[in-house]
Amino acid sequence: MTTAYEWRGELANDELNILHAEGFEHRVLDDDWCTQLREHSLGWVTARDDGRLVGFVNVIWDGAVHAFVLDTLVPSSHQHNGIATKLVRIAADESRAAGCEWLHVDFEDHLRAFYFDACGFTPTNAGLIALR
């Protein structure tokens, strides 16, 4: 099956809520992704197989030169086929085309091979404060 990738592709809230719930192991929420993405993102990348959403990454930004990758997601049924690597490559290309100079990400230890080796991010110091 050919996977179709799209920058700022059409999305329904339900399909992304289901993908997010599977990826981050929580119950299916009722988030309004469409509004959130339209109002706060530089863009996002979708991957579809025969219409089914099989990959997503969100790219937020500072309105200038910094873009940030969030919520890279591929369902377990489609993992280890290079889909997420391609999603991130498109996110990087489109961020560059939009004038960004840096693409950031942070992640848990077990994803080092994915972000560093497969996607080509270089290690840096980053920080996080839990606000709730």
Ligand X SMILES: CC(C)(COP(=O)(O)OP(=O)(O)OC[C@H]1O[C@@H](n2cnc3c(N)ncnc32)[C@H](O)[C@@H]1OP(=O)(O)O)[C@@H](O)C(=O)NCCC(=O)NCCS
Residues that bind ligand X (CB under 6 A): 23-24, 72-74, 79-85, 107, 110-111, 113-114, 118
Q: Are 32 and 14 in contact, with CB atoms under 8 Å apart?
A: no
Between 27 and 99, CB nearer to ligand X: 27
Per the listing, tokens 């919520």 go with 71
Sign of dihedral through CA atoms 108, 109, 114, 117? Answer: positive
Between 64 and 113, CB nearer to ligand X: 113
Q: How far is the CB of 46 from ligand X (least distance, A)?
A: 13
Between 54 and 100, CB nearer to ligand X: 54
Separation CA 98–CA 119 (nearest Å): 20
Q: Are 94 and 59 in contact, with CB atoms under 8 Å apart?
A: yes
Q: How far is the CB of 47 from ligand X (least distance, A)?
A: 9
Polymer length of the chain:
132
Q: How far is the CB of 68 from ligand X (least distance, A)?
A: 11
Between 82 and 99, CB nearer to ligand X: 82
102: which strand partners? Answer: 66
Q: Are 69 and 104 in contact, with CB atoms under 8 Å apart?
A: yes
